[in-house]
Amino acid sequence: QFLRVTKQYLPHVARLCLILTFLEDGIRMWFQWSEQRDYIDGTWNCGYFLASIFVFINLFGQLSGCILVLSRNFVQYACFGLFGIIALQTIAYSILWDLKFLMR
């Protein structure tokens, strides 16, 4: 009985659970724009403009990927885009060498 009632909602809930981290990070990046930009600028000494471009690409990539996955449009491309965001963040935030963070 329970599965019959919830069967139509489970795929949406599953997709939401899978992309929730990206959605939260994108929303947090929107509200902490200046802190993110200043961190990238301070870490890479790339300047205000390039740091802003990086934060925008990161923000847009995460939110658009989440929207596409939830709407079931271009899901494969959206997943590749989200994977690219993970790779970009790994390099930009120097996560690759932080073993404690990687283990989490």
Tens of pLDDT, residue by residue over 36-47, are 999 999 989 999
Q: State the virtual CA torsion across 31, 26, 10, 6 in degrees, nearest 10.
A: 10
d(CA 91, CA 104): 17
pLDDT at 41: 92
Percent of the chain with pLDDT over 70: 100
- Quick one: average pLDDT of 58-81? 94
For 18-69, the pLDDT digits (tens) are 999 999 999 999 999 999 999 999 989 999 999 999 999 999 999 999 999 9
Closest CA to 57 of 85, 87, 33: 85
d(CA 73, CA 96): 31
